[in-house]
Structure 1
């Protein structure tokens, strides 16, 4: 006699593993980050970020990792394996090195906070040669971000992740502004039909919070 199983009693499928490769670059000419997020079925999300503020090279490495983690969380990723070529960042997060600098401590706290939003988060150091696909992106974003291929999403970032939140703007506007799509996404989960614009909103939205009638 066949055994009939109640679907509700079956174990939930285990979340699939995603991989994140990030790299940050800073010099006297500018700072940027490159990141590639790869899904279990080899779907790939590629981003370049240009930082419109001064950062050290280590801070740029942290900014790149945090940006990738935020994007992964926004895409609903539950299990994430991150790869960085920064020995400092990897060993800070794994607890091998102590973060003595105040800036590094702030970044480390943010990474741990974001890591807690995943069921499983791990980070490993890889060699620069193994990470050169995002290394190139980060350097291009830092130096010549306006000339990157249109297939790569380039975002300008205007403040450090460790800076406190401030009021950005009031929601009530008679006409559509740059905030409109972000507000609609936070309120209703709606996105523009254009896939590129929709991806931009997914990247930007985690940096804001809608409280009542004010966007923070």
Structure 2
């Protein structure tokens, strides 16, 4: 019996305890963000993308006074908080701001007190993720977040909260295509059909 079991052990299925199996690793989400401030307003644009390429898009208006660099930090913090609310555990952020990316990664020093406060808050929030990283990208790769940022910072002051989007499928200078209506021809059956429908005699 012992020899038989030794020979057939390799062919027997292995039964695993599911509780001992490692939990699947959380998937990585991506955050593209931009923020800006000017005399006309301040805001941020965020695009949070799931591992399955589902986009969560946000245009945020800041109703408080900030500098341009502070607006970029506020944009990142807003994106991180939204990611937290969605249950994200691994987050890769992208910014076209060299200052923000390098200060967070420890390559640039933050001498300004407000920048130091923002950095401390970012690092505190980053600790709540299993994995958090940020990279600088060229502005050309961050166009969508930049457009949302400008929409929030500059446009919302002049618009109502609802923005209607309509698709237009042809140029205004293209001629209208009209279909000529064709009148029904009167035949010997016309009176009979009218009698059957309305009961009126010819």
TM-score range normalised by the length of the shorter chain: 0.7 to 0.9
Does 2:110 align with 1:107? no
Gaps of 5+ in 2: 1-11, 166-202
SS at match of 2:141: coil
Out of 22, 35, 38, the residue aligned to residue 27 of structure 1 is: 38
Q: Deviations over 1:20-52 (max 9, x none)?
A: 011001110000000010000011100011010
| 8 Å CA contact retained: 1:140, 1:148 | no
Does 2:84 align with 1:73? yes
SS at match of 2:83: helix
Q: Deviations over 1:135-187 (max 9, x none)?
A: 010011001124677599xxxxxxxxxxxxxxxxxxxxxxxxxxxxxxxxxxx
SS at match of 1:142: helix
Name the structure 2 match of 1:3: 14
Name the structure 2 match of 1:196: none
Name the structure 2 match of 1:16: 27
SS at match of 1:71: helix
Deviating runs (4+, > 3 A) in structure 1?
A: 146-152
Matches of 1:81 and 1:17, distance apart in 2: 7
SS at match of 2:47: strand
Q: Deviations over 1:103-127 (max 9, x none)?
A: 0000001100000000000000001
Q: Which has the larger Rg?
A: 2
Matches of 1:98 and 1:151, distance apart in 2: 44
Gaps of 5+ in 1: 153-216
Out of 146, 152, 155, the residue aligned to residue 141 of structure 1 is: 152
Pair 151,104 (structure 1): closer, same or farther in 2 beyond 3 Å: farther
Alignment of 1:38-49 (within 5 A): 38-49=49-60
- CA RMSD, aligned part only? 1.6
Matches of 2:106 and 2:135, distance apart in 1: 12
| 8 Å CA contact retained: 1:141, 1:148 | no
Does 2:151 align with 1:121? no
SS at match of 1:32: strand
